């Protein structure tokens, strides 16, 4: 045993409490140093997990009536689809106008489909354009318009021009019917 070591041992023996406390303190410091970022990391993890839990819980609570609402929307869309023309059925679609003509009693001066508008890829519906020029009495014209606007198929009139006298009214319409792809 060298003199230095012997001196250290002597010192340790002389101040045992001091040495033990110093050793413990060094140990505690080391523990604090090496575990100092654990609490911060754990806090971040807790925040993340809490936020995720809150989101999952709110998803569940917010979707209490979602199934019913979805069923309602599906039914509504089925009803809308039933009131939309087949975009490819050109002849079939014209029959709708001829049926209107015979029901209401107006006379077509011109009836022709307009240019097809390219629908977006994800779009469910496409407008089917028609130019319709008709002659009829005022009552017949109003009835024809009512049938169009509140009839079987969804219709929007983009422009219209009505003119005429007491007996006959001429109506030129540019309209779109709702079509399904």
List contacts with other proteins (CB under 8 A). 15, 17-18, 20-22, 24-25, 28-29, 31-32, 35, 38-39, 42-43, 45-46, 49-50, 52-53, 55-57, 59-60, 62-63, 66-67, 69-70, 73-74, 76-77, 80, 83, 122-125, 127, 141-142, 145-146, 148-151, 154-164, 176, 178
Residue 11 tokens read as 């010192």
**Minimum CB distance to other proteins, residue 34 (Å):** 11
Identify any residues that bridge with 20 across adjacent strands, giving them in sequence order.
none
Indicate the SS3 state at residue 54.
helix
CB of 6 vs other proteins, minimal distance in Å? 15
Spatial distance between the Cα atoms of 137 and 104, rounded to a whole number of angstroms: 10
Min dist CB 7 to other proteins, Å, is 11
Q: Which two tokens stand for residue 56?
A: 């999952």
Q: Where are the beta strands (DSSP E) in the chain?
A: 85-86, 107-113, 125-136, 155-164, 169-180
Choice between 82 and 90, CB closer to other proteins: 82
Tokens linked to 97: 């106008």
Residue with Cβ nearer other proteins (17 or 91): 17
Cα(159)–Cα(175) distance, integer angstroms: 7
CB of 177 to other proteins, least distance (A): 10
């Amino acid at each position: 045993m060298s003199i230095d070591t012997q001196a250290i041992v002597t010192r340790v023996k002389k101040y045992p409490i001091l040495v033990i406390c110093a050793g413990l303190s060094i140990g505690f410091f080391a523990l604090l140093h090496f575990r100092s970022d654990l609490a911060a990391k754990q806090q971040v993890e807790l925040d993340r997990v809490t936020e995720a839990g809150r989101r999952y819980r709110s998803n569940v609570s917010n979707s209490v009536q979602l199934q019913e609402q979805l069923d309602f929307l599906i039914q509504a869309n089925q009803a809308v689809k039933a009131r939309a023309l087949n975009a490819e059925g050109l002849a079939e679609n014209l029959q709708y106008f001829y049926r209107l003509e015979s029901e209401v009693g107006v006379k077509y001066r011109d009836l022709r489909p307009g240019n097809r508008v390219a629908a977006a890829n994800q779009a469910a519906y496409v407008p089917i354009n028609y130019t319709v020029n008709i002659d009829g009495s005022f009552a017949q014209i109003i009835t024809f318009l009512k049938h169009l606007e509140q009839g079987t198929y969804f219709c929007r009139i983009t422009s219209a021009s009505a003119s005429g006298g007491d007996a006959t009214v001429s109506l030129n319409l540019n309209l779109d019917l709702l079509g399904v792809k």
